[in-house]
Amino acid sequence: MEQMMESAIESGEDGQSGSSADSEPPEPGSTMELSVLDAGTGIPGEDLQWIGDRLSEAVDHVAPVDPKCIRITARIVDDQEMDVAHRRFSGIAGPTDVLTFVEKMDRGLEVDLLLCRDEALRRASEFDHAIRRELLLYALHGVLHALGYDDQTPEDHARMHAEEDRILELIGVGRTFDRGGDA
C-alpha cells in the first residue's frame, strides 16, 4: 500500500508560499499540487512530509520560468521497479536515481517523478547523510529537468548541480550533490 503526503501550495504575488487552508481560495492557476508517495519501500510518513515541505520551498527558489509547475507527484520506488521503468522509458537496463515525466497543460506543467529509494540509500550511506536528503535532491533534480535544465554536457552538468546546491542551501538543507570539502 502506498503512503502519501499531499499538500496544495498557494503562491502569493510576493512568491511566499503558505497552506491554502490559511488564506483566501487561490486564483485559478496559482496553486501547485504536490504529492510525495511511497510505493511500499518503507519510507516513514514524517520523511515523506519533510521531502514534500522542502520540495515546495525549493520550487519557490528556482529562477522564474514559464510555464510553471502546477502539479508535482514524486513516487518513491525500489531498484526493481526503477529498473523496469528505466528500461521501458529510456531503453537502459538497471536502476537510476530519478526519472522525470512532464506533460504541458494549458495552465502549466504536470510533473511526475520516480525516485529510487535503493539508490538513495547507497548514496546517502556513501556521503553520510539522511536518505530523505538524498531523495529531496533527486526530486529537485527531476523538477529542474522538467523546467528545462539539462545535464548532458559537462558544462550543463556543472550548471544544473550548482543550481541544486544553491537552492538546497537557500532552504536550509545545505549542499548535497557537491558538498565541497565536507563530504
Task: Encode pLDDT of 48-82 as tens digits.
Answer: 999 999 999 999 898 777 888 999 999 999 999 99
pLDDT of residue 31: 73
Q: Which residues contact 22 (CB under 8 A, 6 or more apart)?
A: none
pLDDT of residue 145: 95
State yes or no: pLDDT of 30 exceeds 60: no
Give the whole-angstrom CA distance, residue 124 versus residue 103: 30
Phi, psi for residue 122 in degrees, rounded to 5: -65, -50
State yes or no: pLDDT of 128 exceeds 50: yes
Query: Could you tell me the pLDDT band of residue 28, with boundaries at 50, 70 and 90?
Result: very low
Query: Could you tell me the pLDDT band of residue 23, with boundaries at 50, 70 and 90?
Result: very low
Q: What would the mean pLDDT of 140-169 be, rounded to a whole number?
A: 94
Q: What is the pTM of this model?
A: 0.82
Q: How many structural domains does the chain have?
A: 1
Query: Could you tell me the pLDDT band of residue 10, with boundaries at 50, 70 and 90?
Result: very low
Instruction: Please state, rounded to an integer, the average pLDDT across all residues of the chain.
Output: 83
Domain that holds residue 176: 3-182
pLDDT of residue 85: 97
Count the neighbouring beta carbons within 10 Å of the beta carbon of residue 39. Answer: 16
State yes or no: pLDDT of 173 exceeds 70: yes
CATH of the domain at 64: 3.40.390.30
Query: Could you tell me the pLDDT band of residue 16, with boundaries at 50, 70 and 90?
Result: very low
Give the whole-angstrom CA distance, residue 15 versus residue 56: 12
> By percentage, how much of the chain surpasses pLDDT 90?
73
State yes or no: pLDDT of 27 exceeds 60: no
